[in-house]
Amino acid sequence: MDRARERNMRVPERHRSRKLDICVSVVILGIFIGSTLLAYTAFAFPTIKHSTLQQVVFLFRHGDRTPTETYPKDPYINYAWPNGWGALTKKGMLQLYTVGQWIRHEYGVTIGNKFESATTIIRSSYADRCIMSAQALLASCFKPSPEDMFLPGLAWTPVPVHSIPRNLDKLITVKAPCPRLEEALKQAYLDEAKRSSAKMAEYYKELTEHTGKNISTITDVEFLYNTLEIEEQHGLQLPEWTQKFYNNEMRKIAARSLAIFTNSTIQKRLLGGPLLKEILSHMEEIRTDPKPKRSYFYSAHDITIVNVLRTMGFTDELLKPDYGATLIFELHLVNNNNLEVKALYLNNTETRIAHPLEIPNCVTPCLLQHLKQVWRKVIPNDWDAECKI
């Protein structure tokens, strides 16, 4: 009887053991299926994306820098900034190195495993910080495999960066002489002064007193904001008066200063238009060139990105790009052998997801031939001729 009772007691234990084995198996199977689906999601999408991607263009802002100027009453006016004024910092180098890693991960299939001049071109502003930012990005974007290293242990390969002298630049900074553009910019500042002079008069007056510098335009405010922002980000305690002024309102004024350069159609045509025209010509190579390039890189400034975005039609919001912010143009081959253009924006170097942009006035899918029509009013035919008054 005791043995029978013992057998009866063991039966539930065996059942519990089987149930436990089944539960463990179900959990393991669930983990396996979940991992498989996650892997599919992670790897299938890039495969699908790159199966249609024909070309990609990157326009990025340089990394963290030192101030380009200061003001007479700045308590840090004699601060010894590493490498002087307007220089790329070590933090800035790392920021763009990070962007290069992101590009490598997202677009490695398209741009190739190693740099080849036949498939990739890099252009930069004349500024040292832009050239160095491009080099930092390229160091991680085109990191050589051990067999490609020219010096064992040095995981770096030289990549050419083509810069444009300041006084000849008609593409990135657009500092080449252009009388018609200068006239348009003067008019834009006059219009801005008429709209805001009464409202801004006291604001300008107080800032002039605090800084010891004549602050009379929104561009003066922008330069001041940039200096304060850099000093704060580099751990310097700002003067007490900045608690009233260094805020979101000042940042919006700085963003308005960037926007003023592309207020009119002629400004868009002469400032943002040249770069958009070149990007369109790159895309057309897919049809006309038997061996078109796969990727283009442009190392530039915040104003370059703002000029291009506003010329594209993004004029409803004020923009002030962060260090390393990247505007991306993808060219896809879609149904019926059509070419579709997609635009994305990477906000900064801490972001891992580029946000899709819906190009204004270009219906989805935004085909290349349609986009050329959408931008026809802001693309210059002959920049030099149109610059004449």
Strand partners, 357: 343
Comparing 133 with 10, which gets the higher pLDDT?
Answer: 133
* 3-class state of residue 333 by DSSP: strand
pLDDT in tens, 143-197: 999 999 999 999 999 999 999 999 999 999 999 999 999 999 999 999 999 888 7
Whole-angstrom distance, CA of residue 380 vs CA of residue 389: 15
Whole-angstrom distance, CA of residue 96 vs CA of residue 140: 9
pLDDT in tens, 38-84: 444 444 444 456 689 999 999 999 999 999 999 999 999 999 999 99
Closest residue by Cα to residue 271 from 190, 380, 186, 188:
380
Architecture of the domain whose range is 52-70+88-177+264-387 = 3-Layer(aba) Sandwich (3.40)
349-359 mean pLDDT: 92
**CATH 3.40.50.1240 domain residues, the chain:** 52-70+88-177+264-387
pLDDT tier for residue 1 given thresholds of 50, 70 and 90: very low
Q: In the chain, where does DSSP find H-type helix?
A: 2-52, 90-111, 128-141, 179-211, 218-233, 242-245, 248-259, 265-267, 273-288, 302-312, 368-374, 383-387
Whole-angstrom distance, CA of residue 340 vs CA of residue 369: 9
* 3-class state of residue 326 by DSSP: strand
Q: Long-range CB contacts (< 8 A, 24+ apart) of 238-242?
A: 239/73, 239/75, 239/210, 241/210
End-to-end CA distance of the chain: 115
- C-beta separation of 343 from 279 below 8 A: no
pLDDT tier for residue 13 given thresholds of 50, 70 and 90: very low
Rama region for 125: left / alpha / beta (φ>0; ψ in -120 to 50; rest): beta
- pTM: predicted TM-score of the whole model, two decimal places: 0.87
- Looking at residue 335, what is its pLDDT? 87
- Looking at residue 7, what is its pLDDT? 39
On average, the pLDDT of the chain sits at 89
β-strands 355-357, 326-334: how paired? unpaired
pLDDT in tens, 115-158: 999 999 999 999 999 999 999 999 999 999 999 999 999 999 99
